[in-house]
Structure 1
Amino acid sequence: MNDKVKYEIEFPIMSSPQLLYQYISTPSGLSEWFADNVNSRGEDFTFIWDDSEEKAKLVSKKTGEKVKFRWYDEEGAETEYFFEIKIMVDEITKDVSIVVVDFAEDDELDEAKLLWENQISDLKHVLGSM
């Protein structure tokens, strides 16, 4: 398996950090834009898309600021790969943006970024923040 590369992308978003946090940290919020369905049992989350299912552990969260999920492999062991969603607020303008940190294989980097653009577009639609 190829090693994946870490990347970070930022998206401006018109929303309050408090509302945004509900959409990035709860199964019901995540299932509205990130996956078709999201279930959780404690810190373990299951993300379901069509006929595929991925499991991740919520490894850290800071209310109103960020969440970080670490992926499990097929055997149920934690991997080194994670995705993190951070809410950033500009201190001067109060503009809100989301910063996504994720991993992708080198030859799939553009595709991975495009996927996040589509996901965040769905989030903006749910928030009424087009």
Structure 2
Amino acid sequence: MEKEKFHIEYIFDKVSRRSLWNHVTSALGLSAWFADEVTIQGNLYTFRWNKEKQQARVIESKPETQIRYQWVDEEDKSAYFEFAIHTIELTGSTALEITDFAEPGEKTDSIDLWDSQVEDLKRTLGI
């Protein structure tokens, strides 16, 4: 069954694009909020949660703007997860837009998980 694409946007006041970028692309940054441990070899990221391990490849990247990952074991080759960073002109705030895919009926759970993880990210950034 084909997964459903969804977007979520989070606003970060007083956070630089560079700082947010480092938290969504570097091993140290990602291990602070996204996974327990992250290692990077070239464009292959290995994420560990407890004893579970998953790998993702970077399939597209524009420095300090956007990075797109695809799980290595993903059956739906059109599915990916992406972090896009932009500045909201009216307020000057930094926004993080997450694009992801979920099985039909699991979209709400996926959004809840992202909400929880982004709360961890905000704490890590001192917000």
Is TM-score (shorter-chain normalized) higher than 0.5? yes
Structure 1 stretches of 4+ moved >3 Å: none
User: How many residues in Structure 1 have an aligned counterpart in Structure 2?
Assistant: 126
Q: Give the TM-score normalised by the residue count of structure 2.
A: 0.93
Q: Which position in structure 2 is the counterpart of 1:3? A: 2
Is 2:100 the counterpart of 1:102? yes
Change (3 A) 1:79 1:51: farther
Percent identity of paired positions between Structure 1 and Structure 2? 33
Q: Which position in structure 1 is the counterpart of 2:73? A: 73
Give me the whole-angstrom Cα distance separating, in 1, the residues matched to 2:78 and 2:55.
Answer: 14
Q: Which position in structure 1 is the counterpart of 2:123? A: 125
Deviations 1:23-70 (A, max 9, x none): 011111101100011111100011111121111101122111111101
Give me the whole-angstrom Cα distance separating, in 2, the residues matched to 1:64 and 1:99.
Answer: 13
Deviation of 1:91 after TM superposition, in Å, equals: 2.0
Q: Note the aligned Cα RMSD (angstroms).
A: 1.6
Does structure 2 retain, via aligned residues, the 8 Å contact 1:73–1:79? no
Does structure 2 retain, via aligned residues, the 8 Å contact 1:44–1:55? yes
Deviations 1:73-126 (A, max 9, x none): 17xx89332100011201232111110000001111100000000010000000
Give me the whole-angstrom Cα distance separating, in 2, the residues matched to 1:31 and 1:78.
Answer: 26
What letter matches 2:2 in structure 1?
D
Instruction: Identify the structure with the greater strand proportion.
Output: 1
Does structure 2 retain, via aligned residues, the 8 Å contact 1:57–1:69? yes
Structure 1's unaligned 5+ residue stretches are: none
Q: Give the TM-score normalised by the residue count of structure 1.
A: 0.91
Give me the whole-angstrom Cα distance separating, in 1, the residues matched to 2:78 and 2:35.
Answer: 21
